A and B are shown apart, each in its own frame.
Chain A
Amino acid sequence: MKRREFIKRSGIVIGASAASFLPNVGFAGKRVESMKLLTANASFDPVRPEMGRLITNACKGIGWDIELAAEDYNLGIQKVFKEFDFDMFIVRWTGRANRVDPETFTRMMFHEKGNYNKWGYNNATVNALTDAQQVEMDVQKRRRLIQDTQRILFEDAAASPIVHPSMTNAYREDRLSGLVPQLGEGIGSLWTDLNVSVNSGDGYVRTGQTSPLKNLNPVAVHDSNEFKELRMIYDRLIQVGPDGSIVPWAATSINAVDSTTVDITLRNGMKFHDGKPVTVEDVKFTFDYCLKWKAPFFVSSLEKFESVSITGSNTMRIKLVKPHAPLMINFFAQIFILPKHIWQDIPEKVDVDDVLNFANENPIGSGPFRFDYWDRGKELKVSANKDHFHAPKCAGIIRIAYGSHDAMAAAIEAGECDRTRYILKPSLVQDLNKINGIVGKGYASHGWYGFMFNHLRGPFKDRAFRTALDMVVPRDVIREVVMSGYATNGGSTIAPANEFWHNSSIKSRQHNIKKAREILQQAGYSWDGSDKLLYPS
C-alpha cells in the first residue's frame, strides 16, 4: 500500500470513529468544570510544581480554573498508570539512549494499545501509522511514517510538550579533556567514559550523581542509572552513538537479511574479565536465559524471536515472529552479554530462588571497565580494561553518590568531583560556569517535559479545547525562568535534537491567550458574566 493511500484510508477510519466520539455531549452550555493538574512535588523535581503554577495561572486567561496538586511521585504514578484517576499531569520524559528510537514517543505513548497510553488517546490514523512504522524495516520509509505521526499528533494536540530541556552537566575543565557528549546523556555518556583523559592525579574520573546506585544485576536491570554503570562492565552487541546513531560494538555487524531474519557477526578476540573468551554461545545463552527468567526490560523484545541459531564460529541468526524495527536500539543496543560459564549456575548455586533476587556482588563482563568495588550507598569503582577493543583513555571511573545537588556542586568546586553523570540543577550549572576551571553547560537532549491530558474526561475530548490549552502554556517564561534558559520550547513529541526523526515543519505554539480564546469561540465555547468558560451549547 502506498503511503498516501494508506493515510487516506486511515482518514476514513478516523472520520467514521469521530461520529461516535462527539465531544462535550451532555455538558452543553454548562460551565467547564474545575480540574486538577497533577505534578510530582518539589522534593522529587523542583521544576515541575513551578511549571504547574505558571500553567495554572495562565489558564485563568481563558476563564478556566484549575487546581495544582503537587504530590508524592509514587502516588502520582499510581493515579495515572494504575488507577487512571487524573485530569492532567506534568511529566518529564527523560532522553534515555533507547528513546532515540521514536517508538516510545509515538507508538508507546499514543497508540490505542501503547503501554504508556493511560490517557485514553485514540486516533485511528495514529494507530495505523505507528503500527506501520513498527514493522517497517526500511529506515527512510519508517522516518516518513514517524514524521507524519508527529504532524498528526501536533495538529490533534494529543499532548502539550512544554519544553525540551537540555542535559545540564558540569565538569572540571582543568582536570579533564576529551569529553564526548551524547544526545540525551550529555557528558555522563559512555563515550565520555571511554574518551576522557585526566590531566592530573591518579587518572580516575570522579563522577558525581545524586542518586545512589541500586543494582548491578544485568538481568534484573530496569533503571537508566543502572544501565549507565553496567554498560561499563558488560558489553552490548551495538551501542547508541554520540549523535543517536548505531555504532557496532561486540557485534561487528547486525544485518537484516529480510524483514524477519537478522544475522549477527560477533567480534573476534573478545574476552571476559576472568580471561574466558566471549563466544556466540554466550550471546545465545544471554537471549535464552533472559527469556527463561523473563528479564523485565528485555522479555517483551525476546518474545518477538521465533528462533535463535548459531550459524558459525562467530555468527548467529535470529528469526523474528514478525518484523520489528525498534529492536535495534530497544534491544540489541541495551542487552548485556552474560558469561555463560558464570550465569548458567545462577540462581541454583547462589542461595536465591529467582535470578531477579541475585545481587551480583562481583560482576564479571567483557566491557571496557573491570569492576573493582561497590561501596553501597557511596561509590562504585571500575578500572580501565586495557585489553578491550575500545580501551578507555582514563585509568577508571569512580561513581560517587552525593546527598544533594548542592553537595555535588560544592564537591566540583572544591575539586573533589570531576564531572556530573546526570542532571545538575540549572541554577547551579549557571553558578559553576562562573568559576575558573569549571564548565557548566546544557547538552542536547531528546527528552521533554509534557503537559498530558486525560482524553476520556470533560473538555479534553475536544481537539479545539486541547489546541487552545497548548496555546495557553507560557513556554518562554518557563524556558527562561524555570529552566534558566537550558531548554527549547516544546512542539513535537520528538525533539529537534533528535534530528533524524524530528519533523522540522512542526513549530511550537506560541503563548497567546487571545488566540486561544478565539479558537474556543470558533468551536462554540462562550463565557458567562464572570468570564468563566462554558461548553458549546
Chain B
Amino acid sequence: MLEYVIRRLIYMLITIFAVASILFVVFRLLPGEATLQVISPAMDDAVQDRMKAAFGLDKPLWQQYFIYLKNLVSLEWGRSFVSAQRVIDILQYRFWNTLLLMASGMCMTLVLGIGFGIIMAWKRNSSIDIGGTIAGLVFQAAPPFVTGLLLLMILSYRLGLFPTGGMYPAGQRPDGVLALLMMPAFWERIVLPTITVGLYYITTPMLIMRDNMLEVLGSDYIELAKAKGLKPSVVMFKHAARNALLGVVTLASIMVGFAIGGQVVVESLFSWPGMGQLMVESAASHDYPVAQGTFLMLAILVIGLNFLTDVWYCYLDPRIKISSTGLA
C-alpha cells in the first residue's frame, strides 16, 4: 500500500510539472503582448521597456521559464502584472469564495442527486422515474446562464425575494470567513447561485446513483433482506444505497475539481468574486503570473483529488488489489 501511494505521489508530481510547463508555453502563445494590456501602446517605447523590465519580461524566454519553475517550487508564485499583489494572496482569497459557492452547490447536487437517484431506482418506470430523468436531462442541457438568469429575473428582479448578487451587502465586509458565514445576508446571497450550480450538476450523480441502485437491487442479498421482512426504507437506504454509493464517490471528486474552475458564468452572473472570474480576467489581460497560478492551482486540485480518490477507493473496496504497476 505504502509503495503504491509513493509511486502515485511521484506520478502526481511529474504530471504537475508537465502541466506547469504547458501552461507557461500556452500563455505566451496567446496573441498580443502582455504589456499592451497593462500600459497604453501610445506610451514611449522606453516606458514599455521599463514595464517589461519590472515584470521580468525583458529576459529571454528560457530564463523566464527557469525563474518560473524555481518560484513554483519555493511557492513564491510572483506578483500580478496588473495589481502588483502576490499571486498566492489573490488565489487564496478567490479560492475560498469559489469554495464556499461550490461547497453549497455540491452539497445540494450530491444530497439531492443521490436521494432522487435512490427514489427513481426504487420506483423504476414510474412517473417519478421518467419525470426525474427528463427533468435531469433538461437541467443538464440548459446552460447555467439561462437557469441563473431565469432565477434572477423571477426570484430577484420581479419578486424581490433575493438580492441580485455579491457575497455580502455593500460596505459591510466581514472580518474573515467565519464572520461571513455568520451573516444572514450571505446566506440570502448564496441561495440563487447554489441552485444554479446544483441544477446544472445534479443530473450526473442522480443518474449514476439510479443505475448503480438498479444493479444492486437485482442482487441476491437484497432479495434476502426483503425476504427477511425488513422495512423497504431499511432495504433501500441501509443495504442497497450504501453499496451503490461507490461510483458516486469517484465521480464527486472529479466533479468538485471541474466545478471550481468551471463557474465563470455563474460567478459573473451573480457578481461572485471567485476563481472562474479570475481565470477569465487574468487570461484576457495577459496577467501571466495570475493566469498561470489560477490554472495550475486548479490542475493541482484535480490531480490531488484524483490521487485521494484512488487511495480512498483502494481503502473502501478491499477487493481491489495493488499490482506492481498500480491497481489491478
Q: Nearest chain B CB to A66's CB is how many angstroms away?
A: 22
**Interchain nearest-CB distance for B265 vs A (Å):** 9
Interface range on chain A (Cβ under 8 Å from partner): 35 or more
Chain B 21-37, CB-CB to A under 8 Å as 1, else 0, gives 00000000011110011
Given A82-B33, A377-B273, verify A359-B42 contact (CB < 8 Å).
no
Nearest CB in chain B: distance from A302 CB, A: 11
Instruction: Tell which of A222, A356, A402 touches B84, judged by Cβ atoms closer than 8 Å.
Output: A356
Residues on B with C-beta less than 8 A from A212 are 273, 281
**Cα separation A375 to B179 with both chains bound (whole Å):** 15
Q: Nearest Cβ distance between residue B151 and chain A, in whole angstroms?
A: 12
Contact of A77 among B32, B51, B169, B269 (CB under 8 A): B32
Q: Are B84 and A358 in contact (CB under 8 A)?
A: yes
* B44 adjacent to A115 (CB under 8 Å): yes
Contacts of B178 in A (CB 8 A): none
Residues of A within 8 A of B55 (CB): 357
Please state if B267 and A403 are interface contacts (CB–CB under 8 Å): yes
Q: Are A356 and B54 in contact (CB under 8 A)?
A: yes
Segment among B159-167, B235-243, B294-302 that sits at the interface with chain A:
B159-167
At the interface, yes or no: B15 with Cβ under 8 Å from chain A? no
Chain B residue total in the interface (Cβ 8 A): 55
B170 close to A403 (CB less than 8 A):
no
- Give the residue name and chain of the A residue nearest to B165 (CB): A407
Interface presence of B8 (CB below 8 A): no
In the complex, what distance in Å separates the CA atom of A148 from the CA atom of B32?
Answer: 37
In the complex formed, the residue of B with least CB distance to A44 is B284
Choose among B46, B90, B93, B170 the residue that contacts A416 (Cβ–Cβ < 8 A). B170
Please tell me if the beta carbons of B32 and A206 are within 8 angstroms of each other in the complex.
Answer: no
CB closest residue in chain B, given A300: B44
Most central of B50, B269, B271 by chain A CB within 10 Å: B271
From B31, B39, B171, B281, give the contact of A75 (CB < 8 A). Answer: B31
Given known contacts A215-B82, A358-B84, A398-B171, is B39 in contact with A222 (CB within 8 Å)? yes
Q: How far is the CB of B308 from chain A (nearest CB, A)?
A: 29
- A81 to chain B: closest residue by CB: B41
State A328–B167 Cα separation when bound (angstroms).
42
By the criterion CB–CB under 8 Å, are A357 and B44 in contact?
Answer: no
Are the CB atoms of A72 and B165 closer together than 8 Å?
Answer: no
B156 within 8 A of A: yes
Shortest distance from the beta carbon of B55 to any chain A beta carbon, whole Å:
8
Which chain B residues border A360 with CB–CB below 8 Å?
Answer: 84
A77 touches B36 (CB 8 A): yes
Q: Are B277 and A377 in contact (CB under 8 A)?
A: yes
Contact A115 B42 (CB under 8 A): yes
Indicate if B43 sits at the interface (CB-CB under 8 A): yes
Contact, CB under 8 Å: A381 / B171: yes
Check if A72 sits within 8 Å of B84, measured CB to CB. Answer: no
In whole angstroms, what is the CA distance A357 to B57 when docked? 13
Q: Are B93 and A376 in contact (CB under 8 A)?
A: yes
Is the beta-carbon distance between A414 and B166 smaller than 8 angstroms? no
Q: Chain B residues with Cβ under 8 A from A357's Cβ?
A: 54-55, 79, 84
Task: Give the distance in Å from the alpha carbon of A377 to the alpha carbon of B44 in the complex.
Answer: 30
Per the bound structure, the CA–CA distance linking A206 and B33 in Å amounts to 35
**B85 and A376 form a contact (CB under 8 A):** yes
Choose one: B42, B53, B171, B270; the contact of A206 (CB below 8 Å).
Answer: B171
Q: Is B83 an interface residue (CB 8 A)?
A: yes
CA gap between A212 and B285 in the complex, in Å: 12
Structural contact, B79 and A359, CB atoms closer than 8 A: yes
Docked CA distance A117–B182 (Å): 56
Per-position contact with A for B201-224: 1 when CB-CB < 8 Å, else 0? Answer: 000000000000000000000000
Q: Which of A296, A398, A407 makes the CB contact (< 8 A) with B170?
A: A398
B33:A78 contact, CB within 8 angstroms: yes
Would you call B277 and A300 a contact (CB within 8 A)?
no
User: How distant is the Cα of A202 from the Cα of B284 in the complex, in angstroms?
Assistant: 37
Q: In whole angstroms, what is the CA distance A377 to B165 when docked?
A: 13
Residue contacts A-B, CB under 8 angstroms, 21 given = A72-B31, A77-B41, A78-B31, A82-B36, A115-B43, A116-B42, A204-B170, A222-B38, A294-B46, A296-B47, A296-B50, A299-B50, A300-B44, A357-B55, A378-B167, A402-B271, A403-B272, A404-B268, A414-B164, A416-B169, A416-B170
Which 4 pairs of residues, A with B, have the shortest CB-CB distance?
A377-B273, A74-B32, A81-B41, A403-B268
A75-B31, A296-B47, A377-B278 provided; 19 other pairs, C-beta below 8 A?
A77-B32, A78-B36, A81-B36, A214-B83, A215-B83, A300-B43, A375-B273, A376-B273, A378-B166, A378-B167, A381-B173, A400-B170, A402-B165, A402-B271, A403-B269, A407-B270, A410-B157, A416-B166, A416-B169
| Chain B residues close to A by CB (< 8 Å) | 30-33, 36-44, 46-47, 50-51, 53-55, 79, 82-86, 90, 93-94, 97, 152, 156-157, 160, 163-167, 169-171, 173, 267-273, 277-278, 281, 284, 286
